[in-house]
Chains A and B, each alone.
Chain A
Amino acid sequence: MHRLVPSSRLFSRSITSLPRKIKHNNCTYDHLCVRCLSNQSNQQGNHHEWSSRHSAYATVAATSIVSLYLLVKSLKRDEDRWSCYRSAYCQKKHVVPGAIPEAKASTLSKDNNKTTESEQTDKESSDTELPLYKYLIVGAGTSSVSAYRAIKARDPKAKILIIGEEPDVPYERPPLSKELWYVDPAVAKEYKIGKSKRDSIFYEPRPFYLSPKALQEAENGGVGLISGKKVVKLDGQKKKVWLNDGTEILYEKCLLATGGRPKNHPVMETADKDVQDRTILFRNTSDFTRLHEAVEKSKSVAIIGGGFLGSELACALGFKGLKTYQIIQEKGNLGTVLPEYLSKHTTEKVQESGVDVLTSLTVTEAQYNNNQVELTLSDGRKISVDKVVVCVGLEPNVDLAKTSNLELDEKHGGFRVNAELEAMSGLWVAGDVSCFYDIKLGRRRIEHHNHAWVSGKLAGENMTGASKMYRYQSIFWSDLEPYVSFQAIGIIDSNLETYSVFEKPPEKKRQRKKKTKESNLEIAKKTTEESLGTNQEVSKDTGSEEEKPKEEFNKGVIFYLRGGSIVGILLWNITGKIYRARQVISDGCRDEDLYEVAKLFFAPRKRRTED
């Protein structure tokens, strides 16, 4: 752009030529100056003509000189300003020896940087001293990991800085309520699910991550990590973040992956300190450690909450031999996710695992009593336990919205973003805290591990220019050891209409029979009245020998329906069929016989060349 300013040499040449011209016009002609004109009385006619023309030239020349001079002067000023601007621009990109205590880095560098210039420019404005990173990730969880991997794959020399509030390096969360409870305690203490080095829940050991300084100096890029710091403010227009220690950092592209913090129960929140000391809001590695250690010293525990986390922990603690209570608001475990009959079945299975599941109850009081916590339930019952674990949901970490003018979603919580996970230009949001638009299933916020991975990856790809929408659906799963295990994809909401097909266990000669009123299940008879025209089989209705009051839900598939399409699929004790589930969700199967669609999930594993 500096070429727009013509070089001063050109100007000087033109300037010097002008006086010569003017001189030529004025006085090279004999006596043709004003003085001369007045003396040219005898050559009046011609002289007049000459003189008038000449005076015209003179005035023109004079004005030209003056204006030219002024023009040149202003241009010189502009040029100075321009070079100022240029240096300021440079300074923005190429930082000057450092203002930041945290990042002692003295130079910022872009991929195509000019670091030599930066050291010569002076500090003009405070922003120019700040470190700038091309890629910044706020939050050091699962989404951050898949994001940096995606960025690095597409931008091989990328420099990515991650800022995390937790003291740990990024780790995988599901094992905290699953595998870690079923392995050797000595191994679990180190957050490993096995003896091998690769069995650590941490995605990478700390040496993988560079310090901010090392990151800036890394010629071929890398991933840097700042642990134990929180981003308290973000300006999406200035592309700047502020940390809780006062550090300011500039970015080009930023990903918010701040996750969530566990909600507290209103009663536990306001309880006495002695009660609170014995209460764990389960989420992080430190919470796991606390509970894991407590297991050795405690005899009884109460878990408040009947969702995934609560149920998994209940089974785990039951497995460990503690007297475990689970207090659930709904009618059964996973009541918000599974259709009622299945939720009831799950509850029975959890009880078989050794947990005293108390359904349709809430905690109304919590008192400290003789080194234990005494909980009063809504039906008046009191139970005393050594420890209380609260698993009543997740509060998305949207603190940044208050200071940063970011849009929140009232219905789902979290930061509102579009189908490409973008909140505004240069800012993406992924993971638990992202309320995004799913073009197939509508606006959603998903709090599962695989979603964190998939959305982080998508955000990373979009940060490097992919412009992809969220189309590849994430899955989730749960294992309530040892009886219940399922995988799911799409929208799994117990409020939706469902259609399920279960395979009867082969060994038992179980015959179908009409259900008793209690269990409220009916065997579907072959009808043609169903709106979707589904075939519903009736088993051989010979007289049943063994009258068992409950059905065995051994293995099956559940379709969640909305508006006639399949929007969610849950695979109950079926493995290896996720790809097929994706295909079905992609299609929607509006006009299909659901019975036939269900068959796809029971077919034995084999390759087919046509579909």
Chain B
Amino acid sequence: KDGKDRIVFVTKDEMSTPSEAMIAMDEEEVHDGPVGFVQPNGELNFGCPCVGGLHAGPCGYEMREFISCNFYNSKDKDDPRGHECDDKMYAMMQCIDKHEEYYKHKMSSDPEDEDDDPFAISDDQGEEEVSTSHIDVSSSIVTQNPTPDSTSS
């Protein structure tokens, strides 16, 4: 004990016995809003940290429209090639051409980059950004690797 500060030293073994502590937590205090890009109800969450600033860019709206369209139509068996969203894709491409300067920078290939498409719809959301962005809501104890150096959180 150092005055008001109590210190306990333990061995690794002592610490690996299961804890008896009971923790009751408030969802709002452990999750910062909806988690992940694809929500349990099937909707897309553009506030996901994985989106980064893409939806806020000069063509953010067009991209959002196209991606949403693509996502909802991907389930449509009648249109396997996704022609339903052609107009939205065209609008997006036009916008990108207009803002070439920014998107050229964004889209250009970078040998150092191991780019992971955040919009690839898969079950595994990936462990990209900081802590709570990809928590599997059903599990209460989640393995985390907070990456404080990440730029988007």
| Residues of chain A at the chain B interface (Cβ within 8 Å) | 145, 148-150, 152-154, 156-157, 160, 172, 174-175, 178-179, 193-199, 201, 203-205, 207-208, 210, 218, 220-223, 339-341, 440, 449-450, 453-454, 457, 461, 468, 471-473, 475, 477, 487, 497-504, 506, 512, 520-524, 534, 536-537, 539, 551, 575-580, 582-587, 589, 592-593, 595-600, 602-611
Contact = CB atoms under 8 A, between A and B. Distances in A.
B23 to A, nearest CB: 5
Given A153-B55, A210-B58, A586-B30, A501 B10 contact: yes
A197 B105 contact: yes
Interface residues of B, number: 70
Interface in B1-60: 1-12, 14-26, 28-33, 45-47, 51-53, 55-58, 60
B29 A472 contact: yes
Interface stretch (B71-79, B81-89, B137-145): B137-145
Given A502-B10, A576-B145, A208 B57 contact: yes
Contacts of B135: 579
Contacts of A203: 53, 151-152
B139 A220 contact: no
Given A472-B32, A497-B5, A611 B58 contact: no
A583 B21 contact: no
B105 to A, nearest CB: 6
Contact of B32 (A178, A221, A457, A603): A457
14 contacts: A149-B47, A156-B61, A160-B56, A178-B149, A197-B108, A208-B57, A461-B33, A472-B29, A502-B9, A523-B9, A524-B1, A534-B8, A539-B9, A599-B18
Interface string B89-111: 00000000001011001001010
Contacts of A339: 2, 5
B11 A503 contact: yes
Nearest to B95: A220
| 8 tightest A-B CB contacts, nearest first | A220-B61, A196-B112, A207-B102, A153-B47, A611-B140, A602-B15, A599-B19, A586-B29
Contact of B6 (A148, A223, A499): A499
Contact of B21 (A195, A210, A597): A597
B12 A596 contact: no
A208 B149 contact: no
A413 to B, nearest CB: 25
A156 B131 contact: no
Given A207-B102, A207-B105, A584-B23, A179 B16 contact: no
Contact of A487 (B14, B46, B52, B146): B146
Nearest to A145: B53
Contacts of B112: 194-197, 199
Contacts of B25: 582-583, 586-587
By DSSP majority rule, is chain B's interface helix, strand, loop, or mixed? loop
B148 A205 contact: no
B33, B149, B153 interface centre (most CB from chain A within 10 Å): B149
A603 B108 CA distance: 43
A586 B26 contact: yes
B15, B26, B52, B53 interface centre (most CB from chain A within 10 Å): B15
Nearest to B113: A196
A567 to B, nearest CB: 13
Given A148-B56, A472-B31, A501 B113 contact: no
A208 B7 CA distance: 51
Contacts of B14: 537
Contact of B2 (A149, A201, A340): A340
A585 B142 CA distance: 16
A582 B139 contact: no
A477 B131 CA distance: 13
Contacts of B11: 503-504, 506, 539
A586 B112 CA distance: 40
